Structures are given as structure tokens and as C-alpha cells.
Amino acid sequence: MTKLFNKLPNHIAFIMDGNGRWAKRRGMPRNYGHKEGVNAIERTIDACIKFGIKYCTFFAFSTENWKRSKEEIEGIFELLRDYISKNDNIFLSKEVKLNHIGILDPFPDDLKSSLVNMEKQTKNFEKLTVTFALNYGGRDEIIRAINNLLEKGEKSITEKEFLTKLDTNGLPEPDFVIRTSGEQRVSNFMLYQMAYSEFYFPKICWPSFNEHHFVKALKVFSKRKRRYGGVS
Ligand code: FPP
């Protein structure tokens, strides 16, 4: 592997865009795109394991996605429910730690408890940590963190203290952000954490994303020169 890439990202964040367009082009309903999107998540988790990536995060449901139709929202919940609850799920079968960022409160009770239960069962796995961003928004996360600090009576804090109040506490910052479908936006995803992330925008829609695209992305990352505001 080291021959293929001179460096690899420790944490990759995926903005899985293009599910709706992918389905529409095939004359299918939007939820068919999300269904195939779940298969792309599974392929991507497998590829992360294969190439030794330690953390990956998927933007599965944003604080803004509540604007979508009830049918589409319920379809996404159903996919998530099936994916987490199946007996041979990837988390248990491949020893992958499951984690989430975002506020689960508005989600159906059974979905919340299967998520929390799977997180408990996989909490000691170390090979790969998969985080699903669920009812997540970067602005919402920052405001919640500030309110938390205000409630504690804090007058002044350090960056280090602030980080502990974010949903991502304990996760490294994403080194690499991949947004599929050719759109080039951040869409309220990990705003604070992406300060020094590298970005990549392949044209392919998320349901088509596979190991070939993943390897191509890793090659792009391995050529990036990260300077963090310094000089190389
Ligand atoms: C963006 O494409 C996709 C989403 C907002 C939803 C992604 C959700 C899943 C793949 C299912 C979640 C399930 C699990 C197991 C985490 P879009 O619908 O905005 O595409 P478009 O821009 O072409 O309309």
C-alpha cells in the first residue's frame, strides 16, 4: 500500500451528494438513489478497511434535510434502520466502531435505540471508526457548544476547551473531504473541523462511488502539499 500512496488521510469525510439525480436519470424515485447510496457506503467502509484509513464520516442527514418530503425522510430512516439492525452488519462482522454526530432527539425511538445500542456494542473496536452525521449541522453544533459553555458560566475559553464541546470531541479533524456529484460546497458540514482539510469534488454521483474512485481520490490526496499556513 505504501508504494501506491506516499501519504494517506487519517480521517476522510464524505458528502454523499447526487443520490436524487442518479435515481432520476434512471427514471426511479429519489429513495432508490439513497438505497444504492447505502451500498456505496458499504463499499467505502470496505475500502477504508482495505487501505488502512482509521476514521471516516458520512453526512447522512443534515439539519436542513427536514425540508424534504415526509416520504423521502422516512425512506432514509428506514434505510438507516435496516442497515444498523441487520444481524450480519458491517460493524459487528468487520469490527468497525460506530459513532454519530448530531442530535438524535427528533428521530424515531426504535432507530435511536438501535443506533445507541450498536455504538455500545462496537465501542472497543479500533480498526476503523465510522461516524454518521445525523440531524447534523456545523452551525448548530457550534451554537450548542457555545451555549453549553455559557451555561457553565465560562467567560473565556481556549480552542482546546472549545473542541471538547463539539460533537466531534475525540475524533481527529478530517484530513480529506470528498463531495461527489460535482457540486463544490461545504453545505454546513463540520465547519469548525474543516479549517485545514483538503477538498476533492469528483463528478460521479454517490451511488456510483466505488473502490476505483476511492483509490483515485487517495492518489489526489497523496499529491497535496499541506502547509497549514506555513511554507514548504
Ligand atoms: C444527498 O443526495 C444525500 C442525502 C441527503 C442522503 C444520504 C443518505 C443515505 C445515503 C442513506 C443513509 C443511510 C445510512 C445507512 C447512513 P441528494 O438526495 O441531495 O442528491 P441530489 O442533489 O441529486 O438531489
Residue 90, classed as helix, strand or coil, is helix
pTM: 0.97
16 lines ligand 1 (CB under 6 A): yes
Which member of 6, 19, 39, 65 is catalytic?
A: 65
For position 87, what pLDDT does the model report? 74
Report the residue among 14, 16, 64, 186 best suited for mutation to probe ligand 1: largest number of ligand atoms under 8 A from its CB: 16
Lowest-confidence range among 30-39, 70-79, 88-97?
Answer: 88-97
19 lines ligand 1 (CB under 6 A): yes
96 lines ligand 1 (CB under 6 A): no
Locate the ligand 1 atom nearest the alpha carbon of residue 21 and give its number. 23
Which residues make beta-bridge pairs with 61?
134
Q: How far apart are the first and last CA of the chain?
A: 25
Digit-coded pLDDT (tens) for 24-67? 999 999 999 999 999 999 999 999 999 999 999 999 999 999 99
Our answer to whether residue 167 is catalytic in this structure is no
For position 88, what pLDDT does the model report? 81
Going by C-alpha positions, the residue among 62, 16, 21, 80 that lies closest to residue 214 is: 16
